[in-house]
Amino acid sequence: MPKTELIVVLFIMFFFTACATTPTGRTQLAFMPDQEVEAMGLQAFTDLKNEKPISQDEREKRFVQCVTDAITMQVGGAWEVVVFEDKSLNAFALPGNKIGVHSGLIDLVDNQDQLAAVIGHEVGHVLLRHSNERLSQKLGAQLGLSVIAAVAAPRTATGQTALGLLGLGTQYGLIMPFSRLHESEADNIGVELMAKAGFDPTESITLWVKMAQAGRGPQPAEFLSTHPSHATRIGDLQALMPKAKNLVQQARAAGRKPDCAKEH
């Protein structure tokens, strides 16, 4: 077989073996080794904990931990959650089961259900392997190998590029935007997760209304500026409600009734 034909055949084999199906049924190209992507998430989270102030407010920590435990119980695994002392409206989840919540977001939400909408959404990004997909789309296989090597040196230009594609720029602690498709998928999975955990899914709509209102001020809410929001988002959430309401009824019938109080 001529060399060029062999290359084409190998490329086609690589493409199809790298394809996977997401929980939403979409075909996804994600060829980066999951263990390496998780290692990048762990490195980024460690850097953040070293660089950003961590909240010492025990009430905030109990509230966030309670909501997170109820959500992650639906997906399994050990998840670490940290509340960062930061007044911006933000939260994120990284490969490797790491979750960060900014204190400003806790101030914004009215109840456990609204926080569950955010936590479920961010966990959805991890379950859907969005970071792996973004890395795979933006980086060629050869560059991907150099990125893996750059995990040990995240301050390098390549390392920062990789962490940005992962969803996090550790140098400034900024969360990079996911695509509109990824956001829609994360909304879908997030609403299902919160409903299965026993939270009120209708509060996801209230939460996004509050976020949109917060974004109309002189300084846009960070969560909105980094998580693209569209006029159709609330409409899409409303379309998910019939299924979500059935899920929460089943959850509560099974005894899943979270009681995470936001203490003032």
Which active-site residues does the annotation give? 122
Count of CA atoms in the C-beta half-sphere (13 A) of 252: 15
Beta-bridged to residue 99, according to DSSP, are: 81, 93
Q: Which amino acid is at 209?
A: V
Any idea what the Cα angle at residue 170 is, between residues 19 and 67, rounded to 5°?
75
> Is residue 80 left, alpha or beta, with left meaning phi > 0 and alpha meaning psi from -120 to 50?
beta
- The structure tokens listed for 209 are 């209304």
Instruction: Give every CB contact of residue 19 below 8 A, 6+ residues apart in sequence.
Output: 27, 28, 29
In angstroms, rounded to a whole number, what is the distance separating the alpha carbons of residues 20 and 188?
19
CB 114 within 8 A of CB 207: yes
Q: Which amino acid belongs to residue 141? A: A
Tokens in use for 54? 């961590």
Helix (H, G, I), strand (E, B) or coil at 84: strand
